[in-house]
Amino acid sequence: MSQDLLTIRNLAVNFNGLPAVDRINLSIAPGEVVGVVGESGSGKSVTMMALMGLIDAPGKVTADEVTFNGVDLLKASPKARRKIVGKDIAMVFQDALTSLNPSYTVGYQIKEVLKLHEGLRGDALHRRALELLDQVGIPDAKNRITSFPHQMSGGMNQRVMIAMAVACNPKLLIADEPTTALDVTIQAQIMDLLVKLQKERGMALVLISHDLAVVSEVAQRVAVMYAGEIIETNSVPDIFRAPHHPYTEALLAAIPEHNKGARRLAALPGMVPGRDDRPSGCLFAPRCKYVVDDCRKARPALDTLVSGNDAMRARCIKPLNVSNLDLTAMHGTGASAKAQTPVDRSSR
């Protein structure tokens, strides 16, 4: 495999000493599509905002490593970082209407990106802005370029946000719930647009989403987050076929298609713990139907389940669906080194 485009090791974000995300380890290869899923409050957006340098005081970001395209972002000067963020790493935010500036036309806001990062001016700048509006499917771009955000629909504003994000041909695009507040038809159009642009430009894509169906269709690999931690990573086919963490299993069990014929949808009791009420040991233990005493004693590590396959990891001392896996890689490593040998609980 080629060198990773992005490597994050032990990223943490704290607000007034309380952890919002902790022990985040994630790598993304060039051109790879990674889905990040989890309940609201699991830390998906905060993790990516930290990568973009958008965590304001009193938030504090720490990490052992955040390397993008060979550049150590932790050691980079603010000036050097600004040349990367917004150009080589770009982000599409959840609500386009609140992310766009209501005081400026959409054309002005697209041109601002191009002037800052590409140095374009005059006619070349205007032509490039029109090209971008055309590429993201804005009809009548010549007239729409002078429109203000409030004069456009939610779907069109999201297309403008995407145009701004891809204006400089980023190597990594982060899409944070890009279809929030859009109707179902427009949601599908926006997702189709993102997939089309990703394939045409060969950029890596991180898709933050609650929609497991969308992730299954778009992503190659999934990172599942819970209470500020990544609790499982795996390829899309493997994670949907045989999840290894009880939380992932519970998420998949709640999909309506998995509840055909049932009178009630499968539900996960309890709530995600907050920053100030985190349990000792495994953070999912209070809601886990497989919990044992050892789960409450120590915080499990995100262990590799198969020797030589770093993509398959789970933060559980007794991972699910492991009867056919080579588990030698996880013995003697991390916080779960003292745990018992994992067992297959898929039939329970």
Q: What is the DSSP string of 75-141?
A: TS-HHHHHHHBTTTEEEE-S-HHHHS-TTS-HHHHHHHHHHHHH---HHHHHHHHHHHHHHTT-TTH
Record: fold of 6-219: Rossmann fold (3.40.50)
pLDDT beyond 60 at 335: no
204 forms bridges with which residues in the sheet?
172
The rounded distance, in Å, linking the Cα atoms of 200 and 219 is 16
Express each pLDDT in 221-236 by its tens digit: 999 999 999 999 999 9
**163, 136 contact by CB (below 8 A):** yes
Cα 315 off chain centre by: 18
Strand-pairing partners, residue 21, are: 13
Q: What is the mean pLDDT of residues 125-150?
A: 97
Mean per-residue pLDDT for 84-100? 93
Looking at residue 2, what is its pLDDT? 54
Q: Give the pLDDT of residue 221.
A: 97
Place 337 in a pLDDT band, splitting at 50, 70 and 90. very low
| Cβ within 8 Å of residue 2, ≥6 positions away | 29, 30
Q: What is the pLDDT of residue 331?
A: 45
In the chain, what are the domain boundaries? Answer: 6-219, 226-330
Which band of pLDDT confidence, cut at 50, 70 and 90, is reported for residue 308? low
pLDDT surpassing 50 at residue 198? yes
Residue 345 has pLDDT above 50, yes or no: no
* Residue closest to 327 by CA, chosen among 43, 319, 21, 153: 319
Average pLDDT over residues 291-309: 89
Tokens 């889905």 sit on residue: 35
Q: What is the pTM of this model?
A: 0.89
Residue 340 has pLDDT above 70, yes or no: no
Place of tokens 């599908």: 188
Average per-residue pLDDT for the chain: 90
